[in-house]
C-alpha cells in the first residue's frame, strides 16, 4: 500500500552556525524546519543550541542532539531537530 499525501508539499529549511562557548568553537545545525526561517527563529535556535552545548560540554560531551520547540505566529508547535558538535582541527 502506498503513502497518500494531501495538500502541497512543504519546503523544509535548514540552518547552521558556528558559535564560541566554553572556550570551544561549536557548530550548531538544524534541519527539516517547516517554519519560515526568520531572524527571530535563527536567534532562538542559536540560543537554544548554545545553552544545550554549554550544559553538555560541562558534562564532558563533545557533541549531541538538539530538540527545540517553536511556536509560530499562528500558534502551531514544531519540534525542530538538530545537532551540535565541538569543531576540531580535523573538521
Q: Considering the domain boundaries, does residue 69 fall inside one?
A: yes
How many Å apart are CA 72 and CA 36, to the nearest integer? 9
Q: Considering the domain boundaries, does residue 6 fall inside one?
A: no
Domain extent, residue 81, equals 13-86
Q: Considering the domain boundaries, does residue 52 fall inside one?
A: yes
Strand residues in 1-91 grouped as ranges (E): 13-21, 24-33, 63-71, 77-86
Q: State how many domains the chain has.
A: 1
pTM: 0.80
State the pLDDT at residue 10.
61
Per-residue pLDDT tens digits for 10-63: 668 899 999 999 999 999 999 988 888 889 889 999 999 999 999 999 999 999
Amino acid at each position: 500500500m502506498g503513502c497518500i499525501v494531501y495538500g502541497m508539499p512543504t519546503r523544509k529549511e535548514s540552518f547552521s552556525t558556528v558559535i564560541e562557548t566554553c572556550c570551544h568553537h561549536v557548530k550548531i545545525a538544524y534541519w527539516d524546519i517547516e517554519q519560515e526561517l526568520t531572524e527571530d527563529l535563527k536567534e532562538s535556535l542559536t540560543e537554544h543550541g548554545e545553552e544545550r552545548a554549554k550544559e553538555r560540554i560541562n558534562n564532558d560531551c563533545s557533541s549531541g542532539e538538539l530538540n527545540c520547540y517553536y511556536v509560530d505566529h499562528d500558534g502551531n508547535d514544531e519540534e525542530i531537530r538538530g545537532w551540535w558538535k565541538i569543531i576540531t582541527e580535523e573538521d
